[in-house]
Structure 1
């Protein structure tokens, strides 16, 4: 891969939102040393209609239809800026069969490329490095269209299992993997899987916005929790083992179990919503999370253990630790690096016992060990690991290497 003068990141998520996003955090860090353009979520005509009717929130209607400037700047880290571009409205095609989806994808990609080339000219981006955030369908259509120095596929989930991308992503990803310059995954399990098709496979695990989440530790020291609360932060979906949480809530009536974030699995509210010691707190902007975490006594990652969760390295694990909070988790994935820091339990009974131990584990030395673990896993460190991948790819491409 030859040298590049900028970074263009094409993602499957909006820049703004009620939770920390790996790709957004990474771009904020890379913006300190690189010029970065983030291609925001590609809203469709369906999104636009639902947003206009008020049935879908956070649709940037005016920017999508070009009543507002689609190119804005957002703060990165250490005074840097990230350019964020809202693509024009796209055709909704994900639900279609391949015979209809594939020709219409070319139309969507053409609109995106045309707009991106104009933005690149305005920003002076001539030889960008394209980082594709978990969107191989669009990524394959964009290859070679932006005069890019190279393309890296940033893979943070198993696409053949993820409901939101499995329909066409599973078809497109193998070819995309073979044609990109490298793949960077967020877990070692994913790296091993993707390396079968792309030999330049690297693992850069999820990080943590350490300065933000460490505020929870400071707040908790000033105002310690007055009652035991076990928290779960983030989207609660079908990865959550409801049996484990229900058992713990029923056998630990003196403890409050708090879910902070969006609930996407109906069984969670159906089975836990009637219990008096289970509370649901709606999603909050990341900047507003530290006070909520400061009210927790311990945290949990009660994921089911299956092929999907085995590929996950969750953002929340380091967010918990940055706040100095004890963590109890199921052994859903390879978590060897957290031995002695995170307690693992694989049955409802063992999980409840581990939570009791966590609630009593407030030794200053252990709290500090958690904080230092998270500090070493900050997004600033992860960005440097990513840049080491850039350097390795450029070294391989060098005539003298």
Structure 2
């Protein structure tokens, strides 16, 4: 299949995820791919004055030097294939999520927008950027006050989570997102669940699901061939947070004492993780960079996605599913969200008992042919292919707006 990818465009990404960190972020992956052919300015997570103080007291690790301007705010980050991306840390903004008065909250958002706008325009000028495409990545808090303030050709809202289910933004997130969606030129979502919920707000929605660093995670298949595992190990990649069904994990650890359960990622729900840690067959590892994960994944005989089924998880397309598949290992998941494209290669269960049974059957009945099928599906979900789909959505937007004829290059996409 041949499609088109944007070339020679200026792109400003109003990001919610921070650029730095040791876990996968779809916004970072997509923008890194687009930066191969375009000039991309990534506006880093908008740190607050509160973040400065928590860092000074050793409770956080915010980039205080760049925030305060004692270090260069604008960085040029090298990427693979001789590409690079510009990352801007803005001055600190006000922490406003806890403000109860709606009118005051809106005024403070505008203040934050003014602070960030000056910094962005200065960076754009230094880079010679004009008439950018603005991609607002899950950040309507800055997107709204900056709307039509950057001389943008088009505005794209990238939604990768259900904002109405996030506790940290329960007061205003849903309202602000809906307002921004109605004003944006295009909406790009990362899951079928989000497409369903956002399509009621806009008829300009595109679906671009999460991808995988296929070459990195496919190394796991080769490593597993070289190093045959002695013990059976079931693994989980990702954050241990409020999305996880800890009752299920404790049930599995108790019922299967001879199987090791290893968890690689950030521990957000520390109390729940502590309960799980009491089992002798569980082990925890800190979050690792993507290139470090194959040395952990090679020990997994199966990968699990033990998510609760609720409003938040209904909008999730987990990156770990393709990471497991790229390594060729069986995948067992709860039925937290429809994932029809994986029906032939993963096992799903709706109860604890069914999950245990599906896991044991997957472990006992694995074959070289099944591993080959899993790897084949993951190969078609590379970040390169996802960025091409993202580009096509933006190109369609420009053509629809008739702003300018988009500059595109023909590329081959694996399907």
The superposition leaves residues 165-216 of structure 1 with CA deviations (integer Å, 9 ceiling, x where unpaired) of: 3322112112111100011000122112212121101110011111121122
Structure 1 SS opposite 2:87: strand
**Structure 1 counterpart of 2:78:** 75
**Structure 2 counterpart of 1:89:** 92
Change (3 A) 1:110 1:22: same
Change (3 A) 1:4 1:180: farther
Structure 1 SS opposite 2:372: helix
**Structure 2 counterpart of 1:114:** 118
**Which of 65, 70, 76 is the equivalent residue of 2:68?**
65
Q: After TM superposition, list the pairs within 5 Å mapping 1:274-313 onto structure 2.
A: 274-313=278-317
Matched, 1:365 2:369: yes
Contact 1:185 1:203 (C-alpha < 8 Å) held by counterparts: yes
**Structure 2 counterpart of 1:26:** 30
Aligned partners of 1:349, 1:290: CA distance in 2, in Å? 30
Change (3 A) 1:271 1:400: closer
**Which of 346, 351, 355 is the equivalent residue of 1:351?**
355
Aligned partners of 2:259, 2:9: CA distance in 1, in Å? 54
**Structure 2 counterpart of 1:255:** 259
Comparing 170-179 with 4-13, which one deviates more in the overlay? 4-13
The superposition leaves residues 198-257 of structure 1 with CA deviations (integer Å, 9 ceiling, x where unpaired) of: 110111001111112112222222212221111111111121112221221111111011
Q: Which 4+ stretches in 1 moved above 3 angstroms?
A: none
Over the aligned positions, Cα root-mean-square deviation in angstroms equals 1.7
**Structure 2 counterpart of 1:176:** 180
Change (3 A) 1:399 1:6: closer
Matched, 1:6 2:10: yes
Aligned partners of 1:7, 1:191: CA distance in 2, in Å? 24
**Pairwise CA distance, 1:83:** 0.6
**Pairwise CA distance, 1:269:** 2.1
**Pairwise CA distance, 1:91:** 1.5
Contact 1:210 1:378 (C-alpha < 8 Å) held by counterparts: yes
TM-score calculated relative to the size of structure 2: 0.92
Change (3 A) 1:400 1:119: closer
**Pairwise CA distance, 1:393:** 1.3
Contact 1:224 1:294 (C-alpha < 8 Å) held by counterparts: no
Contact 1:237 1:263 (C-alpha < 8 Å) held by counterparts: yes
**Pairwise CA distance, 1:270:** 3.9
**Structure 1 counterpart of 2:396:** 392
Unaligned regions of 5+ residues in structure 1, if any?
none
Q: After TM superposition, list the pairs within 5 Å mapping 1:197-276 onto structure 2.
A: 197-276=201-280
Comparing 388-397 with 267-276, which one deviates more in the overlay? 267-276
Q: Which has the higher contact order (CA 8 A, sep 6+)?
A: 2
**Pairwise CA distance, 1:5:** 3.0
TM-score calculated relative to the size of structure 1: 0.96
Aligned partners of 2:170, 2:140: CA distance in 1, in Å? 11
Structure 2 SS opposite 1:141: coil
Contact 1:4 1:129 (C-alpha < 8 Å) held by counterparts: no
Aligned partners of 2:278, 2:351: CA distance in 1, in Å? 22
**Pairwise CA distance, 1:400:** 11
Matched, 1:47 2:75: no
Aligned partners of 1:400, 1:287: CA distance in 2, in Å? 39
**Pairwise CA distance, 1:259:** 1.3
Comparing 164-173 with 243-252, which one deviates more in the overlay? 164-173
Structure 1 SS opposite 2:98: coil
The superposition leaves residues 325-361 of structure 1 with CA deviations (integer Å, 9 ceiling, x where unpaired) of: 1100011111110012011111111111111122224
Aligned partners of 1:17, 1:224: CA distance in 2, in Å? 32
**Pairwise CA distance, 1:4:** 8.2
Unaligned regions of 5+ residues in structure 2, if any?
1-6, 406-415
Aligned partners of 1:175, 1:400: CA distance in 2, in Å? 26
Structure 2 SS opposite 1:84: strand
**Pairwise CA distance, 1:274:** 1.2
Aligned partners of 2:76, 2:8: CA distance in 1, in Å? 21
